[in-house]
């Protein structure tokens, strides 16, 4: 931390603060939804890993790496904007796939917590997903969960 402050004061940063892989940003967002209700179950953890693997068609080892990086970024993050700024330029189908994954994550335990829904709603707004699509994706995830 002290080293990062020294680099900041001298203007010698090793990495661009905006350089974050989209996979890491999505991992952080999925983790935010998982943690929103204050409980983390094994089923939620498994679903998070599964969703991330499906979205990016990657191995469990790569998914674990993204999750570790995403959690590291979460600790330093002030808002969800820090993650969505990396995703809002993606094509609409990809942004909607991310939002659907967030809904699926929120519904893993069979309940939709208000905090989980608030995070998904905020992400939808930051990704410029219209409210009608937000609701459609919510219903799709709910139908899958039933």
User: pLDDT tens digits for 8-64?
Assistant: 556 554 444 444 688 889 989 999 999 888 888 888 888 988 888 888 888 888 888
Measured between alpha carbons, how far is 103 from 112 in angstroms, rounded to an integer? 9
Q: What is the pLDDT of residues 56-109, one digit of tens each?
A: 888 888 888 888 888 877 777 778 898 898 899 999 999 999 999 999 999 998
CATH number of 20-145: 1.10.3680.10
């Amino acid at each position: 931390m002290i080293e990062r402050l020294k680099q900041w004061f001298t203007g010698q940063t090793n990495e661009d603060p905006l350089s974050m892989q989209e996979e890491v940003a999505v991992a952080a967002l999925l983790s935010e939804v998982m943690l929103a209700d204050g409980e983390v179950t094994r089923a939620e953890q498994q679903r998070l890993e599964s969703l991330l693997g499906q979205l990016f068609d990657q191995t469990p080892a790569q998914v674990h790496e993204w999750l570790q990086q995403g959690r590291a970024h979460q600790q330093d993050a002030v808002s969800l904007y820090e993650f969505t700024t990396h995703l809002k330029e993606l094509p609409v189908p990809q942004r909607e796939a991310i939002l659907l994954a967030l809904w699926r994550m929120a519904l893993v335990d069979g309940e939709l917590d208000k905090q989980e829904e608030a995070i998904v709603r905020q992400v939808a707004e930051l990704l410029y997903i219209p409210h009608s699509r937000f609701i459609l994706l919510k219903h799709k995830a709910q139908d899958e969960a039933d």
